[in-house]
Amino acid sequence: MITRDNYEEFFLLYVDNELSATDRQLVERFVADNPDLGEEWETLLQCRLEPGQFIFPGKEELIKEEEDPWTEKLFEPDLSIVFPDKESLYRKEKHRRVILYPWWRVAAAAIVLIAAGGYFFLPGKKDTRAVTPATTATLYPTENTEKKKPEEKLEEKENKPVPVMIKKKTDPALARTVAKERTPEIRIIEPTVLPQPITRPEERSIAAANPGEIARPLITPEEEISKENSSFATQALLNNATTANDDNNYGAEPASQKKNKLRGLFRRASRVFEKTADRDDDGQRKVLIGTFQFALK
């Protein structure tokens, strides 16, 4: 309800266009009913500003276009720009130094020691190194040489001579003794007397079964000397020759290899005795063996 006490607020709300259509009509009716308030009413209506014609001068500058990153032209690379000190940039990778853990070092050292010990102390290795050329020339395969290929081993055997170790004694005492007796003629067997080369393992095994037929000192039956007729030194010499022959034929066998050392020792000792042993030819009832002289009963 508009009265003369609250009409000013209604007038202001009417100017601000904050009244409903009904209230606007109430205000217009109130003004019509109160003509003395008409001048004030007209003055308030003049206080409304009329929006003049204003044009923003820089409107074109405000227009925007979204940039499409996929169609946007990228910068052209300037290939004329070159880094001047390129040599200083080159690098060489340092070699990596392998640092083992302590237990790895110990393990590596143990492996080396075991390998070295196995190489030097294993019996097979050691014997192989100790075999003389005459022994390696045997036709029969040894334990170590079996590791090689059969063809290679056979070729080696075929090419090398197999001497039979029978030495000629040049000792004057021995020569004198042999001259009196019918000493057996000992010859060195040449490799030409060897059988034909064995090319297959089967044949080789057969040959190994009869080693005495292949290499043996050739002493004819008429040359064989009975023990009664031979001197002590001669028999020792024959035994030695036989032993040497046997060594040459069977020296490569594992069982005889183990005895090589002792046998060599005995051989040296026997040589000493052979050189100096003498029979009692002068009737003095004395026998000289080595440096010892024994009286005969």
Partner 1 sequence: MTEKEYNDCVTLYADNVYRFILKNLRLEDDARDVVQTAFEKLWKNRQEVDAAKSKSYLFTIAYHQMIDHLRKVRRIQLREEFREEARVSDKPVHNLKKVLEEALSRLNETQRSLVLLKDYEGYSYAEIGQITGLNESQVKVYLHRARIQLKNYLVRLENLI
H or E element, residue 240: helix 232-250
- The DSSP secondary-structure symbol of 86 reads G
Can residue 121 be called a binding residue for partner 1 (CB under 8 A)? Answer: no
What per-residue string of b and e applies to 167-203 under the rule 16 or more CB within 10 Å gives b? Answer: eebeeeebeebbeeeebbebeebeeeebeeebeeeee
Among 2, 15, 288, 289, binds partner 1 (CB under 8 A): 15
CA Rg value for the chain: 65
Burial class of residue 95 (count of CB atoms within 10 Å of its CB; 0-12, 13-18, 19+): exposed
Beta strands in 50-206 (DSSP E): none
Instruction: Classify 278 as helix, strand or coil.
Output: strand
For the CB of residue 64, give the shortest distance to partner 1 in the complex, in Å. 6
Can residue 55 be called a binding residue for partner 1 (CB under 8 A)? Answer: yes
Can residue 59 be called a binding residue for partner 1 (CB under 8 A)? Answer: yes
For the CB of residue 35, give the shortest distance to partner 1 in the complex, in Å. 18
Can residue 63 be called a binding residue for partner 1 (CB under 8 A)? Answer: yes
Q: In whole angstroms, what is the distance from residue 216 CA to residue 166 CA?
A: 11
Can residue 61 be called a binding residue for partner 1 (CB under 8 A)? Answer: yes
H or E element, residue 295: strand 292-295
Compare residues 49 and 295 and give the one whose CB is closer to partner 1. Answer: 49
Amino acid at 17: N
Among 3, 5, 17, 78, binds partner 1 (CB under 8 A): 17
∠ CA 231-234-235 to the nearest 5 degrees? 90
Q: Which of residues 65-94 bind partner 1 (CB under 8 A)?
A: 65-66
Q: What angle do helix axes 150-159 and 201-209 make, rounded to 10 degrees? A: 60
Range in contact with partner 1 (rule: CB under 8 A) among 36-44, 73-81, 86-94, 186-194: 36-44
For the CB of residue 46, give the shortest distance to partner 1 in the complex, in Å. 6
Can residue 265 be called a binding residue for partner 1 (CB under 8 A)? Answer: no
Compare residues 12 and 108 and give the one whose CB is closer to partner 1. Answer: 12
Among 6, 12, 115, 151, binds partner 1 (CB under 8 A): 12
Q: How many residues sit in the footprint of partner 1 (CB under 8 A)? A: 28
Among 5, 20, 35, 49, binds partner 1 (CB under 8 A): 49
Can residue 172 be called a binding residue for partner 1 (CB under 8 A)? Answer: no
Among 22, 46, 88, 192, binds partner 1 (CB under 8 A): 46
Contact residues toward partner 1 (CB under 8 A) are 9, 12, 15-18, 40, 43-44, 46-52, 54-59, 61-66
